[in-house]
Amino acid sequence: MRARAGLVAAALTLLVAGCSAPAPAPQEERTAPLVLPDGYSDPGLEATLVPECGTPEGRAQYNPRRTLNPAGLTRDAAGTPTGPKLDKIREDGLLVVGVSQTTPLLSRRNQATGRMEGYEIDIINRIAAELFGGPLPPDDPRLRLVTMPTGSRLLALDTDKNDVERQKTPELAEVPEVDMVVADVTLTCNRVFTHDVMYSSPYLTTNAGLLTRTGAERRDSLADLYGQKVCAASATTSIADLTAARPNTGIVPVSVPDSSECLMLLQRGLVDAVYTDFPILQGLQLQDPGTALVDLRGQGGGEAGIAMSKDHQDLIRFVNGVLDEMRADGTLVASRNRWFVDEVRAAGLGDPGPPLDLPPVSYID
Amino acid sequence: MRERFSAYLRRTEGRLALIAALTAVSTIVLGLVGMTVLRDRQALLDDAVDRRGALTSAALDIYRTFADADATSLDAVLVDQQRSPGLQRKFREDIFDAVDALREAASRDAGGSSSERVRRLTDLVPQYVQLVEVGWSASRNNHPVGTSYLSQASSLVRDTILKDADELHDEQIKALTEAQRNASEHAWFTYLLGVVVLFILYRSQRFLFARTRRKVNIGLLAATALTAIAVLWLPIALLVSSGNAEDSIVKREQVVAPLAEARNVGRSADGNEARILIYPSVGDIKALENDLKKIGALIEEARRFAEPGPDRDRVDQAAWALQSWTEIDTALIKTPNEPLTYPETVALVTPPVGDEKSYAEQVDEHLTAAISGYTRSSAESTASARAALNGLDIVFALLMGGAAVAAVAGLWPRIAEYYR
């Protein structure tokens, strides 16, 4: 009897064991893939230095601040400035200007109206008005603003060195030829050497700034960002500043092709700060009230000028003349204040402080 | 015992019993081998018709929906706010279809060679959608950072998702073609075995004639006839099946494949147009020009092999729509020094107002119709290939079973004579 009960118990045990589900296979550990923009680089990518710009003679020869005096402009009997390039533009009835469409305050396309607006657009409009003898209505076909493909802005100018480059790389044929580029182009020896450009007198002076997410932690300087990622656009003076600051501050510089992408990375939590020219950061902050902006007076920055082919001397003199007039009649300062002070205040971002004064202008002739 | 058995086999009745056993066993073995071979072939074709076919079209859908989503995500910020929600809805439908196709691919190929790829694609969907949606809402607020989101979303699609989807499709096409070719290959081993069985039957007949002086043994003759029928039917059925399978493969490789690629390139060209406006980079215009040329070449290639009929008409219509598309895009491609104004370009690259379709959409629509038509007829050929082998496993087994019975039945009276 006992033996039979044992058998039944054993059979039941076996039955229960057979019925219970097998132990589930352990779930594979997986992590979400990290999606980063094209051209993201950690550590940040610096510009290759042109050797000529490393020597005092080269720096003097390719000095980006060398520009031409508007007084040297020839004028016809009616006092209208003339010259081969200026005559050509008037004859064709077309001034083509390369611009950026993603830098609010400086130059951006208003998606609602489709029109361009900003400090640089004000300057361009004034140049066009002086050139064609009166203010142009919006969408006037005589002024064509062309959005420049990233990484090739200055190749759009008609210079010998650019021609050689265009012949070497057939796909550059699609870069439209423009008369001038007004897209926050910082004056550098590198650019003068590489593209044969000549700048106008500067229309903007900047220093660096730091844009971070708002919060309890103090993030007022690079030193506050030990071990954190700081973003800047590739091959700019800003990324060079960050790389230089790395040993002292312990920051991790990363770069992307466009500073607007730094804001995206900041919003997505993939970087902790953006470091670049203060006016550009003002434009980025306008797009995201959840950020805090620090003006790093005395650090970084530079001067921006209108880039033109050094062969179009009449155009360079003419543009310098227009900028001189704008300085003299106060329109340049008024426009600058309208965009970098009034717009920022109107957006409720507090008082940005006065913009930096423009440097004194000197001409080589 | 062994000696007695050897002595028995040396006698005529022993020899006859041995022959009866040998013919019965050899015909049964041939029957089993033939049945197994045919079942394998049927299973391969069933797999081709059901699973592989479904996987291939899922892979095609994955590519198309993502490429379409890419173009739509960009168009949605170029058009005005009244038209934008329509395009956004189209994008969300594309994603819905893409996820559906991914789910289909995952369930049809669980643990298979493509499952890793499907999983990788699925992993990226949430982030892709998030980038696009954030990009839209930033653009709606007039914030240029929206462009950065959309540009990143677009390069995620182009550089990762579409490449993987394309490879997934290639893998499936290759596997499908291989399965179809394997299924209709000649069964040489079975044929050889059939010849051996026929030889055994012939030798048995000769032996019987030598020993019994009876000219014909009906049973052995019937067994020989049944075996011959089975051995002849098999290659004929496989030939018919292989003809149909080849027809399906040719349609798929020479017509559907170039058309599908043309359609994919068309979606990419549509996206290129919008990108030229939103975040131009060097190479976009050239890429657009090349894309348009490539679509033309692919359609031409498909036309060479496409038979006349309604599907072929759709291919021709796609070619005409492409011609109009190329003509209006000339303004965008050929005149970099007199670039179009922003509103002119927007009008050119976004879908027209109302129900009218852009040329890009027309090309896509005609190609989709032609692809569905040719895919259907390719699938029908695969089904015919399968039908040629329908029930043949059973028939083959029955024929050989019958041959075994006939051989034994024919020999039995001769063996029995010795025991009277």
Q: Going by DSSP bridges, is the β-strand pair A107-109/A307-309 parallel, antiparallel, or unpaired?
A: unpaired
Q: What integer is the mean pLDDT of B75-104?
A: 89
Mutate to test the interface with A, among B75, B140, B142, B156 (most CBs of A within 10 A): B142
Quick one: how far is CA A266 from the chain centroid?
Answer: 16
Q: How far is A284 from chain B (nearest CA, A)?
A: 8
In the predicted structure, residue B334 carries a pLDDT above the cut 80: no
* Nearest-angstrom CA–CA distance, B56 and A228: 46
pLDDT for residue B401: 94
Question: Is residue A208 very low, low, confident or very high in pLDDT (cuts 50, 70, 90)?
Answer: very high
CB A62 within 8 A of CB A192: yes
Q: Verify that A320 and A196 share a domain, yes or no.
A: yes
- The end-to-end CA distance of chain B, in Å, is 23
pLDDT for residue B170: 84
* Nearest-angstrom CA–CA distance, B60 and B56: 6
Q: Residue type at B44?
A: L
Q: What integer is the mean pLDDT of B305-328?
A: 89
Contacts 24+ apart (CB under 8 A), B111-119: B113/B171, B113/B175, B114/B55, B114/B59, B114/B168, B114/B171, B114/B172, B117/B164, B117/B167, B117/B168, B117/B171, B118/B168
Q: Verify that A212 and A128 share a domain, yes or no.
A: no
Q: Which of A229, A259, A209 is nearest to A104 (CA)?
A: A259
Identify the domain containing residue A265 by its residue range. 208-300
Question: Is residue A28 very low, low, confident or very high in pLDDT (cuts 50, 70, 90)?
Answer: confident
Q: What are the helix (H) ranges across chain A?
A: 2-19, 56-61, 84-92, 119-132, 160-168, 189-195, 237-249, 259-267, 278-286, 313-328, 331-337, 343-346
CB contacts of B275 in chain A (<8 Å) are none
Helices B12-47 and B162-183, axial angle in degrees (round to 10): 160
Q: What integer is the mean pLDDT of B10-29?
A: 88
| A149 with B143: Cβ contact below 8 A | no
- Range from A58-67, B153-162, B282-291 carrying the lowest mean pLDDT: B282-291
Could you count the other beta carbons within 10 Å of the beta carbon of residue B4? 8
A268: which residues sit within 8 A by CB, 6+ positions away? Answer: none
In the predicted structure, residue A85 carries a pLDDT above the cut 70: yes
Q: What integer is the mean pLDDT of A172-189?
A: 86
Q: Verify that A309 and A219 share a domain, yes or no.
A: no
Q: Verify that A167 and A123 share a domain, yes or no.
A: yes
Question: Across all residues in chain B, what is the average pLDDT?
Answer: 86
In B, minimum Cα distance to A288 occurs at B143
In the predicted structure, residue B4 carries a pLDDT above the cut 60: yes
Q: Verify that A101 and A239 share a domain, yes or no.
A: no
pLDDT for residue A4: 58
Quick one: how far is CA A124 from the chain centroid?
Answer: 18
For B82, phi and psi rounded to 5 degrees? -75, -30
Chain B residues interacting with chain A (CB cutoff of 8 angstroms): 77, 120, 123-124, 127-128, 131, 134, 138-139, 141-145, 147-149, 151-152, 155-156, 159, 277, 279-286, 336-337, 339, 341-343, 346
pLDDT for residue A9: 58
Could you tell me the two tokens for B366? 């005609």
Q: Which of B55, B343, B30 is nearest to A113 (CA)?
A: B343
Q: Verify that A216 and A275 share a domain, yes or no.
A: yes
Preceding omega of B144 cis (within 30 degrees of 0) = no
Question: Is residue A22 very low, low, confident or very high in pLDDT (cuts 50, 70, 90)?
Answer: low
Q: What integer is the mean pLDDT of B200-214?
A: 85
Question: Is residue B402 very low, low, confident or very high in pLDDT (cuts 50, 70, 90)?
Answer: very high
* Nearest-angstrom CA–CA distance, A57 and A65: 15
Q: What integer is the mean pLDDT of B289-310?
A: 90
CB B67 within 8 A of CB B157: yes
CB B48 within 8 A of CB B179: yes
* Nearest-angstrom CA–CA distance, A101 and A115: 10
Between these two residues, B13 and A77, which has the higher pLDDT value? A77
pLDDT for residue A127: 96
The CATH code of the domain that includes A143 is 3.40.190.10
CB B78 within 8 A of CB B346: yes
CB A282 within 8 A of CB A119: no
Mutate to test the interface with A, among B81, B84, B145, B340 (most CBs of A within 10 A): B145
In the predicted structure, residue B179 carries a pLDDT above the cut 80: yes
| B143 with A177: Cβ contact below 8 A | no
Q: Could you tell me if residue A356 is inside a domain?
A: no
In the predicted structure, residue A6 carries a pLDDT above the cut 60: no
Q: What integer is the mean pLDDT of B38-51?
A: 85
* Nearest-angstrom CA–CA distance, A250 and A221: 12
Out of B149, B152, B281, whose CB is closest to A150? B281
Out of B141, B143, B148, whose CB is closest to A261? B148
Q: Going by DSSP bridges, is the β-strand pair A197-199/A204-206 parallel, antiparallel, or unpaired?
A: unpaired
Q: Verify that A266 and A162 share a domain, yes or no.
A: no
Q: Could you tell me if residue A36 is inside a domain?
A: no
CB B401 within 8 A of CB B304: no
CB contacts of B134 in chain A (<8 Å) are 267
User: Of A300, A319, A336, which closes a domain?
Assistant: A300
| B143 with A171: Cβ contact below 8 A | no
Q: What does the H/E/C string look like for B144-160?
A: CHHHHHHHHHHHHHHHH
pLDDT for residue A8: 56
Could you count the other beta carbons within 10 Å of the beta carbon of residue B220? 25
Length, in residues, of chain A:
365
User: Of A300, A331, A356, which closes a domain?
Assistant: A300
CB contacts of A108 in chain B (<8 Å) are 144
pLDDT for residue A151: 62
Q: What integer is the mean pLDDT of B358-380?
A: 87
Q: What integer is the mean pLDDT of B129-134?
A: 95
pLDDT in tens, A125-157: 999 999 998 999 888 888 988 887 666 688 889
Could you tell me the two tokens for A322? 């227009």
A187: which residues sit within 8 A by CB, 6+ positions away? Answer: A64, A65, A199, A202, A302, A303, A304, A305
Helices B53-78 and B342-349, axial angle in degrees (round to 10): 160
* Nearest-angstrom CA–CA distance, B287 and A280: 31
In the predicted structure, residue A233 carries a pLDDT above the cut 60: yes
* Nearest-angstrom CA–CA distance, B252 and B375: 7
Q: What integer is the mean pLDDT of B88-101?
A: 94
Q: What integer is the mean pLDDT of B23-44?
A: 91
In the predicted structure, residue A324 carries a pLDDT above the cut 90: yes
Q: Verify that A308 and A185 share a domain, yes or no.
A: yes
Convert B87-119 to b/e letters by CB count within 10 Å (16 or more is b).
bbebbeebbebbbebbebbbebbeebebeebbe
Chain A residues interacting with chain B (CB cutoff of 8 angstroms): 32-33, 35, 37-38, 96, 101-104, 108-112, 114, 139, 141, 144, 146-152, 170-177, 258, 260-261, 263-264, 267, 284, 286-288
Mutate to test the interface with B, among A88, A102, A262 (most CBs of B within 10 A): A102
The structural domain count of chain A equals 2
pLDDT for residue B337: 55
Reported ipTM exceeds the 0.85 cut: no
Q: Verify that A140 and A288 share a domain, yes or no.
A: no
Question: Across all residues in chain A, what is the average pLDDT?
Answer: 87
Question: CA-based angle A114:B327:A112, to the nearest 5?
Answer: 10
Helix (H, G, I), strand (E, B) or coil at B50: helix
Question: Is residue B111 very low, low, confident or very high in pLDDT (cuts 50, 70, 90)?
Answer: low
Instruction: Indicate left, alpha or beta for B295 from its phi (over 0: left) and psi (-120 to 50: alpha).
Output: alpha
Question: Is residue A1 very low, low, confident or very high in pLDDT (cuts 50, 70, 90)?
Answer: very low
- Range from A81-90, B2-11, B25-34, B382-391 carrying the lowest mean pLDDT: B2-11
Burial of A113 per CB tally in 10 Å (0-12, 13-18, 19+): exposed
Contacts 24+ apart (CB under 8 A), B296-305: B296/B322, B296/B326, B298/B258, B298/B259, B298/B261, B298/B262, B298/B265, B299/B258, B299/B259, B299/B262, B299/B367, B301/B254, B301/B258, B302/B254, B302/B255, B302/B258, B302/B259, B302/B262, B302/B370, B304/B254, B305/B250, B305/B254, B305/B255
- DSSP letters for B57-124: HHHHHHHHHHHHHHHHHHHHHHS-TTTHHHHHHHHHHHHHHHHHHHHHHHHHTTTSTTHHHHHHHHHH
Q: Verify that A139 and A272 share a domain, yes or no.
A: no
Question: Is residue B174 very low, low, confident or very high in pLDDT (cuts 50, 70, 90)?
Answer: confident
Q: Could you tell me if residue A72 is inside a domain?
A: no
pLDDT for residue B259: 92
Question: Is residue B201 very low, low, confident or very high in pLDDT (cuts 50, 70, 90)?
Answer: very high
CB B101 within 8 A of CB B172: no
In the predicted structure, residue A172 carries a pLDDT above the cut 80: no
Q: Verify that A195 and A228 share a domain, yes or no.
A: no
Q: How far is A205 from chain B (nearest CA, A)?
A: 23
* Nearest-angstrom CA–CA distance, A314 and A319: 9
Between these two residues, B317 and A14, which has the higher pLDDT value? B317
Quick one: how far is CA A238 from the chain centroid?
Answer: 10
CB contacts of A38 in chain B (<8 Å) are 151-152, 155, 159
pTM of the predicted structure, to 2 decimals: 0.81
Q: Verify that A198 and A307 share a domain, yes or no.
A: yes
Residue A292 to residues A208, A238, A345, Cα–Cα distance (Å): 14, 19, 14
pLDDT for residue A262: 93
**Number of C-alpha atoms within 13 angstroms, CB side, residue B356?**
7
Percent with pLDDT over 90 in chain A: 47
- DSSP letters for A309-327: ETT-HHHHHHHHHHHHHHH
Q: Could you tell me if residue A21 is inside a domain?
A: no
